[in-house]
Amino acid sequence: MSKSSRGLGHELLDESLQGSPTVVSSHPTHTKKLYLESYGCQMNYSDSEIVASILDEAGFATTRNSDEADLILLNTCAIRENAEQRVRSRLRQFKSAKAERPHLVVGVLGCMAERLKESLLEQEKLVDLVVGPDAYRDIPNLVKQVEGGQKAVNVLLSREETYAEISPVRLDSNGVTAFISIMRGCDNMCSFCVVPFTRGRERSRDPKSIVREAHELFEAGYREVTLLGQNVDSYKWNLDNKGQVKDPNQPVVRFAELMEKVAAVQPDLRIRFSTSHPKDMTDDVLHVMAKHENICKYIHLPVQSGNSDVLKRMNRGYTREWYMDRMAAIRRIMPKCAISTDIMTGFCGETDAEHEDTLSLMREIRYEMAYMFKYSERPKTLAERKYENDVPEETKSKRLQEIMELQRENGTARTLAMKGKTYRVLVEGTSKKRDDQFFGRNTHNAVVVFPKGDAKPGTYVNVQTLDCTPATLIGEITLEEADA
Ligand code: SAH
Ligand code: SF4
Ligand code: F3S
């Protein structure tokens, strides 16, 4: 699975990417070297590209080799406990490297910054530098402060920062697919979730800068952009949180309008987005998707649980019936749209019957793909304060196994149903398993592999699918018209 297929908060799923070092070509005048490792969701990977850009301006070239770095930064995730543990063990390794190279500066960025600043800086003395997600412009100053012999920290969250005008340095890019952050933070307060605490209030980025970035990417050869936000359906420009227009002389732009604008950049630029929120997803977004061929027919719509009482305790803002109504709207407006989801097992108080409701919802919907997790209690969240984390670990694991097994069946059936059809596929690169094959994706986000022929990465080809594994379609390039 490639980086671009991951949703927000899915840091457990792609071990090969965990802590993957990122690199860009070094600038001749740059004398210092930055080693940057990213954990967590697409948002964090996208932020790392902003950090690389800010540090590029400050004279740092990136390197893949931590041994030659002057500055090591870990962009961290706090979504589940094991995400944090992984970072801590990595930091311990760098602490020993620091003993040998005293000039080395080690810092933590991202979602662990706010909560763990004291423990990381003072108690465990694992790092010199802690910077929260809204303070990245301050990194060059903070590094100077550390070089001057002090510890440095800035974890202030902002109501305005969107890094709108910063051109991200595309790290580890395939040159074909890229992320564009359209908003930051989250105002939802789902009771299990740490993100509102780590990333602060929701704010949307200026649509002009988003469209400009999409144009620039197209000019640079990119053919797919994924618009990123924790809840893209609540994107709003020129509206305050109460829905009042801020500047009457400026247009109001909501997510549906933003998508229209990005879709209009170039018919050959594909658009994906993540994450949609069931409580906010409106039919006008679905109609815009249906209208534009270059908006991919794929929606990631996290359900979390199939039981309305559990959803209430999770403070998700919808019921099972509401979710099913949104599903019905998708099927009505785009009958072939692929759907994926996030599901959590063992949330506080979850009974066997409530778990069964999740299984029955999965049987009804038959998701193409799902990210599945065991509930992990997070400090400061509403769930931690209000509910007991009372589902035993074995029960959580058993339920997780059950939903994973069901998803395996559903996913395989979904892939099988695509077999035999011809798809327009954007070529992303050489298949990991076979040098003589390319891989790409169809509009439904299914991975398709096929012999290279004369195709090139960054172009579209029609592929007739002949065979499949549970999650991959196998085919060959054809001149026939595509079914989708
Ligand atoms: N903003 C997105 C989700 C971001 S977090 C949304 O609302 O859908 C990605 C996923 O991680 C969530 O959908 C949830 O399934 C999972 N997750 C979040 N907090 C968690 C926790 N405390 N324990 C286990 N999984 C969690
Ligand atoms: Fe977390 Fe809920 Fe916001 Fe998603 S919508 S980031 S789950 S608080
Ligand atoms: Fe993403 Fe993890 Fe933060 S999922 S928003 S990096 S807590």
Residue 9 Cβ contacting ligand 3 at under 6 Å: yes
Q: Residue 107: which residues within 8 A CB-CB, separation 6 or more?
A: 71, 72, 73, 74, 127, 128, 129, 130, 131, 139, 142, 143, 146
* Mutation pick for ligand 1 pocket among 232, 342, 387 (CB with most ligand atoms within 8 Å): 342
Evaluate: CB of 373 within 6 angstroms of ligand 1.
yes
Site to substitute for ligand 2 among 44, 77, 181, 193, most atoms within 8 A of C-beta: 193
- Using alpha carbons, select from 481, 427, 447 the residue that is nearest to residue 268: 427
CA angle 403/327/4 to nearest 5° reads: 65
- Give the pLDDT of residue 24: 52
What pLDDT score was predicted for residue 119? 85
pLDDT digits (tens, 9 = 90+) for 132-173: 999 999 999 999 999 999 999 999 999 999 999 999 999 889
For residue 299 and ligand 1, the question of a CB distance below 6 A is answered with no
Predicted pLDDT at 117: 86
pLDDT in tens, 211-229: 999 999 999 999 999 999 9
Query: Which pLDDT belongs to residue 126?
Result: 87
Residue 76 CA to residue 65 CA, distance in Å, equals: 19
Q: Which pLDDT does position 12 carry in this prediction?
A: 34
Cα gap 377→173, rounded to integer Å: 34
What's the full length of the chain, in residues? Answer: 484
Domain ranges of the chain: 2-154, 177-418, 422-477
Note the CATH number of domain 177-418. 3.80.30.20
- The architecture of the domain spanning 2-154 is 3-Layer(aba) Sandwich (3.40)
Distance in angstroms (rounded) separating the CA atoms of residues 229 and 81? 22
The alpha-helical segments, DSSP class H, found in 295-392 are 308-313, 320-333, 352-365, 382-386
| pLDDT at residue number 25 | 47
CA quadruple 240, 245, 246, 250: dihedral positive or negative?
Answer: positive
Tokens at residue 465, please? 């699918």
- The amino acid at 41: C
Ligand 1 site, residue 376, Cβ cutoff 6 A: yes
User: 10 Å Cβ neighbour count for 247?
Assistant: 8
Ligand 3 within 6 A of CB of 40: yes
pLDDT per position as a tens digit, 6-20: 455 454 333 333 455
| Pocket lining for ligand 2, CB < 6 angstroms | 186, 188-190, 193, 195-196, 230-231, 277
pTM score over 0.85: yes
Q: For ligand 1, say whether the CB of 66 is within 6 Å of any of its atoms.
A: no
d(CA 8, CA 230): 7
Domain 422-477 is found in CATH 2.40.50.140: yes
Low-confidence ranges of the chain (pLDDT < 70): 1-29
| The pLDDT of residue 22 | 53
Closest CA to 50 of 226, 171, 220: 171
β-pairing, 472-477 with 447-451?
Answer: parallel
Mutate which of 234, 339, 373 for ligand 1? The one with the most ligand atoms within 8 Å of its CB, which is 373
Phi, psi of 369 (to 5 degrees): -155, 150
Give residue 113's identity as a one-letter amino acid code. Answer: A
DSSP letters spanning 299-318: EE---B-S-HHHHHHTT-S-
pLDDT of residue 286: 98
Give the ligand 1 atom nearest the CA of 377.
22
Give the chain's largest Cα–Cα span. Answer: 66
